[in-house]
């Protein structure tokens, strides 16, 4: 290891190397890029560059360090970004989190009691990096420090202006910083931009400056960027926000932090969005309290809901919304009050408080109707539909949504209105689920196709995951294929990596159901257990109940009467939640594992529920199950039920093989 080698030892080493050619020796030496030698002139020398881990290697390594618990899922991308694929940094970051109590457990089996949004430099790593920076010449170290204030990525025009160096002098310094692997060129067009080799190197260089000096450079960088990029302020909002915040220019900080939040939400960067909004709220508190700033405070707190939802922090998002509602009431701002109540409804339905969500939606509809506000009146019904779709009550969903089809598929087709996803994706998705539940498959497929076109145009990850959840129901009811199951599995894995909470458990619960229908109970049970684990962590009891129910059906298929206790337990839960469709799935599973007389009673109960709710696909499958059970005991009943099943399957355009 040549890192700390002294001059005398180096002379001995070079003498050994000079005499190696005739000897059966292998010499392996490791050193950092700044170490200088003349071995490359020797024919025996071979240099092996140890680069950073690739993205898949980093993901595997982080998985090994942290373990599979859902509470650490949000930490994986944060560690990958901070470490830049350096194994030492990854290990030390995880060790630091464990030592400070942010992680609990041991390597490979950690849990995070609270979400972790920021990472500090590990004490064990800081001296190593600081020593490398100290060995730079004064002008090189100064350029590196200015670059660290500019950010992880460093546009050359900004660096040149702030450093005050001539082009040739700057080029010489950059060349050395590149050779020693502090900076490297990230792009050359449309303007040259450099980046730090390691995020932690950036942090140590930044901390080596005095606080007042950092603040001064941030203020200069803010003004310079506003001048140079005046036509691209939105694209540079995150950089501008960082400079404004650290320069303590609070008004500019609020403006750019809110703009940066919108971009982060569009790219499913929910932890980052929440962090931006927390900083914006803090910056706003530094300013004089005026009606305009109270309105900004309401907007910031309302935007917190989708950001925190994306990280699974339901309780915290509701606390922010409660504050926003008080401020909107104080200000007498009806429009902002409507927005807050809308977010409350979505937050409550996402986390299984379905009655509360519907109450919020109806309260909003009343306010909007009295104010003559068509948009919020329509959105109130969409919010109520979300709660109702989790209960699979198709007729009520259709009653709420059909009057608004022209608006959501016309003038609002690509609108998000400050919420997580494009509104028409959810409108068309809820409509397609409802149409498939009632057996209108042609309409359901047409709605799903229109939804997927919006997803393609928007390019938002959240829209893809929402659409997957919606469309999966159409396939579950029509009979899923192995090809569809593979597509859904790939999307679920993408969701796990990019936006695990709360979307992953929702998609996985449907994937488990699809696997039960096209692969069998064993794979379904594993998937549904994972879905339940994430749903529990994300505080989504309705998704946990659905996963439990379908898993009980899978266990009944695998082990027969032994699953009866689990089935009866799930039945009680879904009845309490008011979900008639899942209740039917459980009753059919109970009928499969009990005596024929009891089985027929359970099927009769299921038939009454299906008839009352217009669930024609399930009605067809109930008739088919009755025909099969009655075949050995009541030939007339079996024949009548078989005819009813055949007639309904034909009417619905379903194959009899989809009777499960």
165 and 90 housed in the same domain: no
For range 165-185, the mean pLDDT? 93
Predicted confidence (pLDDT) at residue 657 exceeds the cutoff of 70: no
Range scoring the smallest mean pLDDT among 102-111, 263-272, 278-287, 348-357: 263-272
Q: 11 in a domain, yes or no? A: yes
* Domain final residue pick, 183, 209, 235: 209
For range 424-443, the mean pLDDT? 97
Q: 316 in a domain, yes or no? A: yes
The tally of domains found in the chain comes to 4
Task: Report, in this order, helix, strand and coil percent for the chain, each rounded to 5.
Answer: 70, 5, 25
33 and 78 housed in the same domain: no
Predicted confidence (pLDDT) at residue 398 exceeds the cutoff of 60: yes
Q: 200 in a domain, yes or no? A: yes
Q: 413 in a domain, yes or no? A: no
Reading the block at residue 574, the tokens are 């879904």
Instruction: Determine what percent of the chain is predicted with pLDDT higher than 90.
Output: 72
pLDDT of residue 446: 97
130 and 201 housed in the same domain: yes
107 and 143 housed in the same domain: no
87 and 132 housed in the same domain: no
Q: 83 in a domain, yes or no? A: yes
User: CA 327, CA 589: separation in Å to the nearest integer?
Assistant: 51
**For residue 28, which phi and psi values (nearest 5 degrees)?**
-115, 125
Predicted confidence (pLDDT) at residue 660 exceeds the cutoff of 80: no
Predicted confidence (pLDDT) at residue 601 exceeds the cutoff of 80: yes
> CATH no. for residue 191?
1.10.10.10
Predicted confidence (pLDDT) at residue 434 exceeds the cutoff of 60: yes
Q: Dihedral of the CA atoms 567, 572, 577, 578 (nearest 10)?
A: 90
Q: 222 in a domain, yes or no? A: no
Residues in Cβ contact with 250 at an 8 Å cutoff, skipping those fewer than 6 apart: 244, 283, 284, 286, 287
Omega into 502 within 30° of 0, i.e. cis?
A: yes
pLDDT of residue 628: 92
357 and 385 housed in the same domain: yes
User: CA angle, 419 as apex, 418 and 423 as ends, to 5°?
Assistant: 110
Omega into 190 within 30° of 0, i.e. cis?
A: yes
CB 107 within 8 A of CB 9: no
Q: 304 in a domain, yes or no? A: no
Q: Which band of pLDDT confidence, cut at 50, 70 and 90, is reported for residue 659?
A: low
Instruction: Determine what percent of the chain is predicted with pLDDT higher than 70.
Output: 99
Predicted confidence (pLDDT) at residue 158 exceeds the cutoff of 60: yes
313 and 387 housed in the same domain: yes
Q: How many CB atoms within 10 Å of residue 248?
A: 12
385 and 333 housed in the same domain: yes
314 and 345 housed in the same domain: yes
CB 553 within 8 A of CB 516: yes
pLDDT of residue 209: 95
CB 432 within 8 A of CB 450: no
* Domain final residue pick, 65, 83, 111: 111
pLDDT of residue 658: 62
User: CA 595, CA 584: separation in Å to the nearest integer?
Assistant: 18
What are 359-389's pLDDT values in tens digits? 999 999 999 999 999 999 999 999 999 999 9
Interhelix angle 167-179/156-163, rounded to 10 degrees, is 120
CB 363 within 8 A of CB 344: no
What are 100-127's pLDDT values in tens digits? 899 999 999 999 998 887 888 888 888 8
pLDDT of residue 500: 66
Q: 65 in a domain, yes or no? A: yes
373 and 328 housed in the same domain: yes
Using only C-alpha atoms, what is the Rg of the chain? 30
Of 431, 413, 430, the C-alpha closest to 422 is 413
Q: How many CB atoms within 10 Å of residue 605?
A: 16
User: CA 581, CA 617: separation in Å to the nearest integer?
Assistant: 11
Of 62, 67, 73, 61, the C-alpha closest to 105 is 67
CB 225 within 8 A of CB 240: yes
Whole-structure pTM value: 0.79
SS3 state of residue 406: helix
Reading the block at residue 299, the tokens are 């907007």
Q: In Å, what is the CA distance from 349 to each residue of 10, 221, 299, 390?
A: 68, 44, 21, 8
155 and 102 housed in the same domain: no
Predicted confidence (pLDDT) at residue 442 exceeds the cutoff of 70: yes
Mean pLDDT of the chain, nearest integer: 92
27: containing domain = 7-41
Helices vs strands, H then E, count in the chain? 32, 5
* Domain final residue pick, 161, 182, 209: 209
User: CA 185, CA 498: separation in Å to the nearest integer?
Assistant: 27
Predicted confidence (pLDDT) at residue 3 exceeds the cutoff of 70: yes
Predicted confidence (pLDDT) at residue 259 exceeds the cutoff of 90: yes
Reading the block at residue 302, the tokens are 């309302």
CB 310 within 8 A of CB 273: yes
136 and 189 housed in the same domain: yes
The neighbouring-strand residues paired with 153 are 195
């Amino acid at each position: 290891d040549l890192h700390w080698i002294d001059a005398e030892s180096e002379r001995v080493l070079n003498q050994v190397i000079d005499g190696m050619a005739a000897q059966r020796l292998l010499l392996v030496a490791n050193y950092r890029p700044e170490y200088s030698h003349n071995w490359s002139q020797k024919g025996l020398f071979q240099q092996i560059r140890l680069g950073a881990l690739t993205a898949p290697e980093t993901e595997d390594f982080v998985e090994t360090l942290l373990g599979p618990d859902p509470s650490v899922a949000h930490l994986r991308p944060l560690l990958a970004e901070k470490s830049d694929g350096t194994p030492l940094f990854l290990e030390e970051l995880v060790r630091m989190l464990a030592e400070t109590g942010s992680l609990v457990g041991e390597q490979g089996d950690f849990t995070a009691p609270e979400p972790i949004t920021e990472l500090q430099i590990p004490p064990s790593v800081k001296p190593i990096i600081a020593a490398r920076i100290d060995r730079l010449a004064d002008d090189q170290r100064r350029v590196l420090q200015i670059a660290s204030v500019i950010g992880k990525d460093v546009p050359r025009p900004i660096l040149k202006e702030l450093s005050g160096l001539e082009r040739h002098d700057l080029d010489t310094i950059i060349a050395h910083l590149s050779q020693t692997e502090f900076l490297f060129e990230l792009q050359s067009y449309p303007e040259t931009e450099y980046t730090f080799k390691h995020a932690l190197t950036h942090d140590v260089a930044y901390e080596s400056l005095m606080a007042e000096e950092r603040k001064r450079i941030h203020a200069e960088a803010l003004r310079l960027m506003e001048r140079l990029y005046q036509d691209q302020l939105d694209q540079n909002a995150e950089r501008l926000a960082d400079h404004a915040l650290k320069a303590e220019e609070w008004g500019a900080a609020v403006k750019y932090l809110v703009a940066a939040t919108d971009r982060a939400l569009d790219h499913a960067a929910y932890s980052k969005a929440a962090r931006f909004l927390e900083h914006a709220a803090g910056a706003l508190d530094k300013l004089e309290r005026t009606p305009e700033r109270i309105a900004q405070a309401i907007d910031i707190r309302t935007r917190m809901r989708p950001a925190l939802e994306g990280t699974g922090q339901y309780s915290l998002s509701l606390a922010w919304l409660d504050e926003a509602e008080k401020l909107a009431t104080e200000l007498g701002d009806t429009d902002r009050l409507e927005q807050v109540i809308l977010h409350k409804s979505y937050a409550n339905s996402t986390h299984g408080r379905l009655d509360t969500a519907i109450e919020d939606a109806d309260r909003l509809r009343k306010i909007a109707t009295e104010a003559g506000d068509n948009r919020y009146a329509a959105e109130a019904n969409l919010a109520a539909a979300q709660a109702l779709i989790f209960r699979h009550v198709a007729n009520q969903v259709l009653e709420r949504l059909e009057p608004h089809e022209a608006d959501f598929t016309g003038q609002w087709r690509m609108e998000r209105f400050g919420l997580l996803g494009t509104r028409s994706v959810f409108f068309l998705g809820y409509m397609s689920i409802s149409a498939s539940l009632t057996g209108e498959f042609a309409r359901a497929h047409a709605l799903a196709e229109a939804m997927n076109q919006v997803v393609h145009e928007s390019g938002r990850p959240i829209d893809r995951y929402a659409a997957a959840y919606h469309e999966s129901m159409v396939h579950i009811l029509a009979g899923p294929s192995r090809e569809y199951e593979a597509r859904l599995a790939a999307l679920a894995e993408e969701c796990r990596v990019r936006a695990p909470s709360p979307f992953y458990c929702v998609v996985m619960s449907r994937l488990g159901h699809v696997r039960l229908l096209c692969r069998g109970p064993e794979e379904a049970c594993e998937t549904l257990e994972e879905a339940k684990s994430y749903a529990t962590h994300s505080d989504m009891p309705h998704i946990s109940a659905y996963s439990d129910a379908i898993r009980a059906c899978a266990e009944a298929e695998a082990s027969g009467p032994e699953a009866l206790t689990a089935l009866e337990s799930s039945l009680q839960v879904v009845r309490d939640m008011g979900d008639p469709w899942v209740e039917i799935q459980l009753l059919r599973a109970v009928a499969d594992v009990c005596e024929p007389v009891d089985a027929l009673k359970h099927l009769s109960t299921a038939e009454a529920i299906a008839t009352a709710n217009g669930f024609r696909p399930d009605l067809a499958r109930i008739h088919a199950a009755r025909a099969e059970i009655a075949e050995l005991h009541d030939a007339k009943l079996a024949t009548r039920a078989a005819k009813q099943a055949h007639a309904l399957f034909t009417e619905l355009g379903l194959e009899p093989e989809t009777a499960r």
